[in-house]
Amino acid sequence: MLSKKKLIVLTGAGVSAESGISTFRDNDGLWEQYPVEEVASIEGFQRNPQLVLNFYNERRRRYKGCQPNNAHYTLAKLEEYFDVRIITQNVDDLHEQAGSSKVIHLHGELMKNCSVNDTSTTYPVDPNNSDIHIGDLAPDGFQLRPFIVWFGEAVPMIEPAIEWVQTADFFAVIGSSLLVYPAAGLLHYVPSDSPIYVIDPKEVTANTNREIHFIREKASTGVNTLAHLLGVSF
């Protein structure tokens, strides 16, 4: 049997926008309401841990009840036709909920916690008791913190992500402004003869000389256009 071609997908906040989760840099995006350097950096956490814990406690509460949308489900369905691998910058687990089986989270996961002393061991969050308070301790005896890769921290999952991208037959970006590195730099590892697609209703500037096939649609319909361009009709 022929092995399936590899479709590697980099997703950003836009893929979850239609599930009711705010993006970061759109009008009314999260970074307009909260200074990113205060709530999403390691220095911000060291300066004011309460503020940062409050921010992520609020994110978890708002996330409760959010459902995958057609974009997540279609990517999962495409596994029948392709070896689909998803590299997401999102901290939600909507790709997994929709049934995608190969997902790398570059920036951590909202429904996991870790300790300030060890960010590589994670603990699942109880959805009914999801707040972290100052003084809540991880099993290693150190303060519990969200399992989020903050600005100023290493991105350990970038290495396996690069390995996936280097094997891409097709590469797609869905709902990312491509402004945050190292994620945006993954474009540079796409093999030279593999087409690159970008699904986003707004113009996105990709930092590459490569030809990009832009699909100027929302994620929920853009994935169907992508599937069609790849020769799949559901």
Q: Which residues are catalytic?
A: 107
Residues at the contact surface with ligand OAD, assessed by CB under 6 A: 12-14, 17-18, 23-26, 29, 36, 40, 89, 107, 149, 175-177, 179-180, 200-202, 204, 218-219
Among candidate residues 218, 194, 220, the one with its CA nearest the CA of residue 208: 194
C-beta of 184: minimal distance to ligand OAD in Å?
8
How far are the Cα atoms of 129, 216, 223 from residue 176, in angstroms, in the given order?
31, 13, 14
Among candidate residues 56, 88, 48, 55, the one with its CA nearest the CA of residue 72: 88
Q: Which is nearer to ligand OAD, 7 or 44 (CB)?
A: 44
C-beta of 58: minimal distance to ligand OAD in Å?
14
For residues 105 and 88, is the Cβ–Cβ distance under 8 A? yes
Q: Which is nearer to ligand OAD, 26 or 79 (CB)?
A: 26
Q: Which is nearer to ligand OAD, 18 or 169 (CB)?
A: 18
- Count of residues making up the chain: 234
Residues 6 or more apart whose CB falls under 8 angstroms from that of 123 comprise: 112, 113, 114, 138, 139, 144
Residues 6 or more apart whose CB falls under 8 angstroms from that of 1 comprise: none
Which residues are 195's β-sheet partners?
Answer: none
